[in-house]
Structure 1
Amino acid sequence: MAEIRDLSASGPRAGQAIRQRHGIELSLEKLRRHPGAIPSMAEIRLGQIAAEIPRIAAGLTPGGRDRLIEAIRLGLAGQNTLIPIFHMVRTAMSQRDRGFGVAFTGLNDETPYDLLLRRDGVEAEVACDAMTAEEGRGVHRGAWFRLADRIDPDLQTWLAAHPGRYLLKMTLPRGLRGGLQETGAENETLAQVHQRITAMLQTQTRQDHDEAIVLRLDPLLLAGAQAEDSGLISSLRREFGPEAHLSVTTSGNAVFVMAARAGRENEVAIAIRRRLAALAPVRLTGTRPGILSVFVEDTDRLEWRGLRDRLELEGEARQFMTNPEARPVVAVSFVSRFEMFGVSEPDAAAGGELRFRNPGHPAAGFAALAPAVMSSV
């Protein structure tokens, strides 16, 4: 907890993102410290998963228990989280509720897949994985939060000398990469972008551009309630769309908004398809029907709902199923924090996961596997 608190002190935006990233750990600590408090829905769900882990451990071999303990320790180290182990345990709980026997062969026997399901004499392998949606973004949210925190003091100083309402539109053709914690090369890139913005403001120019960045400073023109702080972000989101990265700095009544985009559209669903193609050959044996269960991390309500409503996830999942790598896969499923934390529809997928069956697999029609493989939409 001390390490998370230290990381959260890096800046208001990055700090909030770090606290959200470590939501499991912080929620469990709250439950431990305040056992009499009324828990939220997320805390109830996470507490249920956490309570299942000792029961699972009791049924493992000594080697399996050691590997489980090591996985938990790894999840509590550095920037890591407990998402991978919680995703596996939640997946096992869900399959058991559907009537399957569940064996933790990955822990006990070090199989490439995590779980072995059995129902009515039929077996299926389940490989659980966690990936970040950042893999499909040109501008990483972690890097954007750090840039916004880094430049915020300079913007406040500039606003004090130039009161008004401003909008800095930023296009980053080469993208902006990096996480919530600093590394050498990424920090240098942020420093360069920071310097370009401050130099533009100091020289009082309205535009600056080269092959790496395009900057344009305009008045912020929003009327009435749109200009109020409470409605500003939602108004900007409607104007710039779900893929824009937004930041607001204020000084008294003065406001400075930054709105950034990559040079191309986000490809989160495409990145997920590529992850499926990489997982199937190495995590499934091909001797039984296989299920890939992917936890998509670092997404928000608007993006996660859009990926589902626009059928982007479904389209890429079905595209994957036409490829040779999908031969051992009878179904794929996708989960985010919104399903794990018990968020209601439409922000979370119905039934706790988004699932698609591979109609080309020989076991696709097996009645025994139907609860685990039938498409959820």
Structure 2
Amino acid sequence: MKVVIPSELVALGQYLPRFLGLVGERLWFKRLDQLDAAQHRSPFNWKIISDYHWLEMAIGFQHDVLMKEGVLRPELVDELIVAALKFAASTVEIHARLSPLGQKNLEGRLRDCLKAETSYASLFLELDLAQRLMDAGFDVSFADMEGTGQFDLLFGKDSFVGEVECKSQSADAGRQIHRKDFYRFMEAILPALEVQRAACRREVLLITLDTRLSPSTSDQARLLTAVRSILADGARTSFAGGGFVLERLNFDAVVPDQSMSGPEALYKACGTAFGANTHISGGLTAEGGCLVVMRSKREDDTSKPLLEAMRKAASQLSGQRPGFIAIQDHGIAAADLMLPHVQRRAAILSLALYGRYGGSHVTATYVTAFGAVILRNGVLGTPAFAVLNPVPKFPLNPADASSLLALMSDETYTGSTEPLSSETISPGVRR
């Protein structure tokens, strides 16, 4: 199929009622009410909603605007809202062209995503990539959704035909401390943080865990009790419990001479002081406050689950034509895709897949991020990079799969940091 999505705001707005109809209006508004109530409970819940559920909130907000104003308003639109509107439009148009089986499967996925911890991330990757392939002139079919293959997308143009399997990787995969669990922990100690701030102390509470942070509040009970106690106690500076150690530190002594121009500077300073694999939250003013830093003695290993996902994706490709694996990272921003260590990890794992784990039929792995979009002059772009197979089973001209291989370079990224100096890496921005 080939689907053309309008770029005009008025036309995009017309898809919203139809999109909600596919999900089920009652289910949609019930879930939106839950998310809205959660984000107003605390700043920590707001962070969870903004990181994981921006797509639902964006569509819900714009639907409210449409119902009240009769039309969407440009001054209330940013790049994430444009991405959400285009996702809704693509969903509606693709659904209309699927077989009855495909339509049923898509409707089921829309409802499942509404309840999922990772929200619409996986479906967003699949439909967004499909739409961008169609925008580039490829004919696309949804093999897995239609029950004709184990991979997600079959795309072709002229004599070229390729396959794509999409994998959306959770930000927490392989990590000892999960981001959602940390923010929920922070919400649980919020009253104690407010009492500490009233004491006019500028502090860091360093929490070192022996292993992982349990998602269960009952398992966290001893830790929560100890944290509340040490925050209230102006004299006690440390506490060792079963599986954790707490240290109350003077912020200005630990991170001296830090005016903190923004969150990035604060995270960098704390990473230098306490290690890279830390979670940081809380608040500081000139009068007082507490920054909570949580870390684990056990190292994170994000490479293992990523390699497992890539091997699973390779097994789902048919091996009969050029295959591509699209990886979507849920835990990084657009600019992070150009960081050398991000590209290097993807290159190492991809080359291992091609050479050691039976992935010779994989032409390239394609790496992007959930919500990593750029809006310029009304055109939505998605930063990404591709790791090419140096000895592919199916050699091809990059122009044959231009949307995945011949990527458009962007001065915002190439001017700020040099990518991995190898012909294996192809950075750029999809449009």
Q: TM-score, normalised by structure 2?
A: 0.74
Shift, 1:132, TM fit: 0.2
Q: Out of 36, 49, 54, which is 2:92 matched to? A: 54
Q: Contact (CA 8 Å) 2:166, 2:313: kept in 1 or not?
A: no
Shift, 1:23, TM fit: 0.8
Determine the C-alpha separation between the residues in 1 that align with 2:156 and 2:228: 61
Find the counterpart in structure 2 of residue 280 from structure 1.
314
The superposition leaves residues 168-190 of structure 1 with CA deviations (integer Å, 9 ceiling, x where unpaired) of 22222302143xxxxxxx21233
Shift, 1:333, TM fit: 1.0
Higher mean alpha-carbon deviation, 354-363 vs 317-326, is at 317-326
The superposition leaves residues 39-79 of structure 1 with CA deviations (integer Å, 9 ceiling, x where unpaired) of 21222232223212222122211211121112112222354
The AA in structure 2 aligned to 1:64 is G
Q: Contact (CA 8 Å) 2:337, 2:385: kept in 1 or not?
A: no
The AA in structure 1 aligned to 2:208 is T
Find the counterpart in structure 1 of residue 426 from structure 2.
376
Find the counterpart in structure 2 of residue 321 from structure 1.
354
1:125-136 equivalent positions in 2, closer than 5 A: 125-136=163-174
Find the counterpart in structure 1 of residue 105 from structure 2.
67
2:302 pairs with 1:268: yes
Find the counterpart in structure 1 of residue 268 from structure 2.
238
Q: Contact (CA 8 Å) 1:207, 1:216: kept in 2 or not?
A: yes
**What's the C-alpha RMSD, in Å, of the aligned pairs?**
2.9
Shift, 1:336, TM fit: 0.8
Q: Secondary structure at the match of 2:218?
A: helix
Shift, 1:269, TM fit: 4.1
The AA in structure 2 aligned to 1:62 is P
Q: Out of 152, 158, 162, which is 2:190 matched to? A: 152
Determine the C-alpha separation between the residues in 2 that align with 1:87 and 1:213: 38
Which runs of 5 or more structure 1 residues have no equivalent in the other structure? 179-185, 345-349
Q: TM-score, normalised by structure 1?
A: 0.84
Q: Contact (CA 8 Å) 1:269, 1:307: kept in 2 or not?
A: no
Shift, 1:326, TM fit: 1.7
The AA in structure 2 aligned to 1:166 is E
2:87 pairs with 1:37: no
2:391 pairs with 1:353: no
Shift, 1:328, TM fit: 3.1
Higher relative contact order (CA 8 A, sep 6+): 1
Higher mean alpha-carbon deviation, 19-28 vs 213-222, is at 213-222
Find the counterpart in structure 1 of residue 46 from structure 2.
15
Shift, 1:268, TM fit: 2.9
2:169 pairs with 1:169: no
Determine the C-alpha separation between the residues in 2 that align with 1:199 and 1:47: 47
Find the counterpart in structure 1 of residue 238 from structure 2.
207
Q: Contact (CA 8 Å) 1:156, 1:250: kept in 2 or not?
A: no
Find the counterpart in structure 2 of residue 192 from structure 1.
222
2:136 pairs with 1:118: no
Q: 1:44 to 1:327 in 2, by over 3 A?
A: same
Find the counterpart in structure 2 of residue 181 from structure 1.
none
Shift, 1:249, TM fit: 4.2
Q: Secondary structure at the match of 2:390?
A: coil
Aligned residues: 360
Determine the C-alpha separation between the residues in 2 that align with 1:325 and 1:9: 49
Which runs of 5 or more structure 2 residues have no equivalent in the other structure? 1-31, 66-70, 407-424
Q: 1:367 to 1:342 in 2, by over 3 A?
A: closer
2:132 pairs with 1:94: yes
Identity of matched residues, %: 19
Q: Secondary structure at the match of 1:326?
A: coil
